[in-house]
């Protein structure tokens, strides 16, 4: 059974601070509950635009999917004058035209859908590969008035979230076998389920490592879930009395 609940302060909508490390959920803005888990939790991360270029079959020639047709190039040149819409640099030779690829879900087989000046801009050459690989996106609320349309930038940001949101799991740094080995060494077994083992004392320096802290957090969450007793109508609100804390 999966239970999802907030375990920290909400992130202000207009915050410019980097998000702290942790596990995050993706929810509807109006707070309504989804009947099923969101699609993003049940499928692998979608590929970036750069990776999509290598595998797409929707475009007649994937190798030209990022090419800017002459008419669009001329229109963007007249609008931006070689000016990178992110850094502001306009030195000729430092910038190049960048066309955002067609959207996966909304792709139209008619090229004119995305081969437009509103979907292209000059970018500093050092940024193009990262932009097309969805390494970063743009906050359309702080960009200049001229440049690509907000709609395309928001779509790029939305897809960049989908490309990256599931990254950062501790298993990327520690393979499962290594995690299980250290759990056994610390005496917590599989998620703390083996009561016959005696956990290593909390003074053990391994508990203070990144992996050790993550394991201990998992142990506590697992044991709390196993020993939690749902409340009844006769004793509302007294959650502390319904949790066996003998494992602490």
Given a contact cutoff of 8 angstroms between Cβ atoms, the answer to whether 142 and 111 are in contact is no
Residue 42 has a pLDDT of: 45
Residue 214 has a pLDDT of: 84
Sketch the domain layout of the chain as residue ranges.
49-164, 171-242
Q: Pick from 39, 11, 43: which is nearest to 24 by CA?
A: 11
Residue 63 has a pLDDT of: 63
Residue 86 has a pLDDT of: 85
To which residue do tokens 């309504």 refer?
A: 32
The phi, psi pair for 77, rounded to 5°, reads -60, -45
Total-model pTM = 0.53
Which residues of the chain fall below pLDDT 50? 1-2, 33-42, 103-108, 191-194, 236-237, 239-241, 243-248
Residue 208 has a pLDDT of: 92
The neighbour count for residue 72, using CB atoms within 10 Å, is: 20
């Amino acid at each position: 059974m999966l239970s999802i609940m907030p375990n920290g302060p909400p992130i202000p909508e207009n915050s410019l601070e980097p998000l702290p490390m942790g596990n995050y959920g993706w929810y509807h803005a109006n707070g309504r509950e989804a009947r099923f888990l969101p699609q993003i939790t049940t499928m692998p991360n979608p590929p970036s635009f750069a990776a999509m270029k290598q595998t797409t079959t929707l475009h007649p020639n994937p190798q030209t999917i990022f090419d800017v047709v002459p008419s669009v190039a001329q229109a963007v040149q007249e609008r931006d004058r070689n000016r990178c819409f992110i850094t502001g640099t306009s030195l000729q030779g430092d910038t190049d035209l960048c066309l955002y690829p067609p959207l996966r879900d909304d792709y139209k087989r008619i090229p004119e859908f995305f081969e437009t000046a509103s979907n292209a801009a000059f970018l500093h050459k050092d940024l193009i590969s990262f932009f097309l690989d969805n390494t970063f996106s743009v906050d359309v609320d702080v960009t200049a008035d001229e440049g690509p349309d907000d709609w395309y930038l928001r779509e790029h940001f939305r897809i960049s979230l989908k490309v990256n949101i599931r990254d950062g799991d501790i298993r990327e740094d520690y393979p499962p076998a290594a995690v299980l080995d250290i759990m056994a060494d610390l005496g917590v077994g599989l998620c703390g389920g083996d009561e016959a083992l005696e956990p290593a004392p909390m003074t053990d320096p391994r508990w203070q490592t990144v992996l050790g802290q993550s394991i201990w957090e998992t142990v506590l969450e697992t044991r709390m879930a196993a020993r939690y007793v749902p409340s009844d109508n006769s004793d509302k609100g007294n959650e502390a009395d319904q949790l066996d804390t003998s494992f602490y």
